[in-house]
Amino acid sequence: EGACRVKVRSSLRVLAYFPTANSPLLAECRDQFTAYCGAPDGVDLMEDDALLRCLREHRALFTGGCRAKVMSIERMAHNEMDFNAEVSEACAVELRTQCRGVDSRQQLSCLERMGEVRAAKLAPTCSRVLQGFKERAAQSVELMGKVSSVCREDYELLCASASALQHPGASIQCLKDSRGQLRSKDCKAAVLGLMAGASRDSRV
């Protein structure tokens, strides 16, 4: 069982790191990737590292099965460092020295705490890439585990149509704008906490 789990995680890591080798993803997304992430020299697709950045920057534009596949990769990257190619590369030194031994699911939080408490310990590239991931998470209900779980009913009632808008922050902004109408106390608390966190970040 342990060996099987290791092999499965290794396979998932390859799919998360190398989208051009992810056949199920390309089956759903090739045309949309070509439209939004085509290589400038006329080659079908960008290289993997550039394609990962592009699909994250343009994820609000993807539709149907392609969007579902892209968001699946995004959730993996935001939940576990093992599946996050960009932060793993940009913050390799910090992960090796400051977050060594920390579970893969907690390493993003470890880096975020470093940035808040000891900003000088984060290299500029690491800080920039990490901030980008935090901002993207704050733009999507699907990438915010706590908000997603406690706000599901309120979101479907008040903000489901926002997910169709081609703006990366439309869904979470809808919850913020509708905070006075939220039925769930837990959801309201989570949304207010999110707004307070954004206010703190803006003052840093």
Shortest CA distance to 110 belongs to which of 128, 122, 125? 122
pLDDT tens for the chain, residues 1 to 204:
678 888 888 888 888 889 888 899 999 998 898 888 876 655 567 788 888 888 888 887 888 999 889 988 888 888 889 999 989 999 999 999 889 899 998 998 899 888 776 555 788 899 899 888 887 777 677 777 667 778 888 888 888 776 544 555 677 788 889 889 989 999 899 888 878 866 555 444
Whole-number Cα distances in Å, 110 to 90, 126, 135: 15, 13, 17
Rounded to 5°, the CA angle 137-140-143 comes to 55
Backbone angles phi, psi at 34, to 5 degrees: -65, -40
Other CB atoms within 10 Å distance of the CB of residue 31: 10
Rounded CA gap, 197 and 92, in Å? 26
The encoded tokens of residue 43 equal 């080659």
- Residue 40 has a pLDDT of 64
Question: In what helix (H) or strand (E) does residue 171 lie, and over which residues does it extend?
Answer: helix 170-177
- 86 three-class SS: helix
Q: In the structure, how many helices (H) and strands (E) does the chain have?
A: 12, 0
Q: Determine contact, residues 127/119, Cβ cutoff 8 Å.
A: yes
Q: Determine contact, residues 173/197, Cβ cutoff 8 Å.
A: no
The encoded tokens of residue 29 equal 């997304």
